Amino acid sequence: MNDRRVVVVIDRDEEVRSLLRTTLGDAGFEVHCAATGEAGLALVRAKQPDTVTLDLVLPDIDGYEVLGRIREFSHTYILIITARSGLGATLKGFDAGADDYMVKPIRPRELRARVDGMLRRPRQLTVPPIVTPREAPLISPRLRASAKAKTMPAPAPAGGLAVASGLPAANGLPAAQGLGLAQGFPAAQAFEHNGLEINSATRAATLRGRALQLTRTEFDLLFILLQRGSGVVTKSELVGLLGLAKREAGAMAGGKAGARDPGRIIETHVGNLRRKLGDDARQPRWLKTVRGSGYTLA
């Protein structure tokens, strides 16, 4: 029986494809490569890979379009590998459905670490694609991260507020809107980590059954970290995902004195979260600081 994990590499550059084939092949993957978006889409459909690496600049289709089309039929983990740097391109990639983002040139050890990190994360499948109404939801066998996705029914809309699935439209139903996070995160998700439970539909957080009184930003920050699982979320990502830069700019435009550094604001919110969780930054049980980078789950 073949237990090898499968990866599809979509990249226009032959040298990059060769490097990825060698690096991932040595890491135990069965590697299939494509030089165009259309060929890559066909491979993803045929091979049903565990992971896809995707260049954003392809000779036939824009990489973001390829990503969106993959998300119409697959929940595979997608790592963007591109020469495009900058927060805007990174956030657009995550918003389109990527699991991680890596800027060229490729460092083989970092590539293996990022792919392994993706495969350890929980894959939340609240509304799987390509199912009939009678089929049960598909739950990935690869829920191996420390933060576990909890199976839960999507609650009925209340007060005219649409419940977001965060996944592509299925069975002819339109995709719902987000709940207010800058990038429109899914509403019907719940996660558990070391006795900490969070429900994005009800916006409730509990620690060993005790309700936590969190601000909107604290809740959203905690949800992002739990959703990312064992992956590191940088301060710049959190600033963009939480809309803090725009919020501070709006405060200045409204005449409020003293613009604050959004990165420092993130540190303040993390400190407040640790205080409410009773967490110790030196020996964390929930929120771990990755020096010089950002935060991840302990």
115 with 171, same domain?
no
- Whether residue 130 is contained in a domain is answered as no
Q: What is the pLDDT of residue 45?
A: 93
259 with 157, same domain?
yes
Cα–Cα distance between 284 and 186 in angstroms, integer? 27
Cα–Cα distance between 35 and 61 in angstroms, integer? 11
At residue 177's C-alpha, the angle toward residues 270 and 286, to 5°, is 20
Q: Provide block-wise average pLDDT over 10 residues at a time, the chain (298 residues).
A: 77 94 93 96 93 94 91 88 85 85 91 86 44 32 46 42 31 30 52 87 88 88 86 86 62 45 82 90 89 85
* Residue-wise DSSP of 115-172: HHHHHHS----SS-SS--TTSPPP--TT--SSSEEPP-PPPPPBTTBPPP--S---TT
Q: What is the pLDDT of residue 3?
A: 58
Q: What is the pLDDT of residue 229?
A: 80
291 with 192, same domain?
yes
CATH, residue 238: 1.10.10.10
Q: What is the pLDDT of residue 25?
A: 93
Whether 272 and 218 have beta carbons less than 8 Å apart is answered as yes
- Whether residue 129 is contained in a domain is answered as no
Q: What is the pLDDT of residue 176?
A: 29
Range of the domain at 115: 5-120
101 with 183, same domain?
no
Q: What total number of domains does the chain contain?
A: 2
172 with 259, same domain?
yes
DSSP lists the bridge partners of residue 287 as 297
Q: What is the pLDDT of residue 215?
A: 87
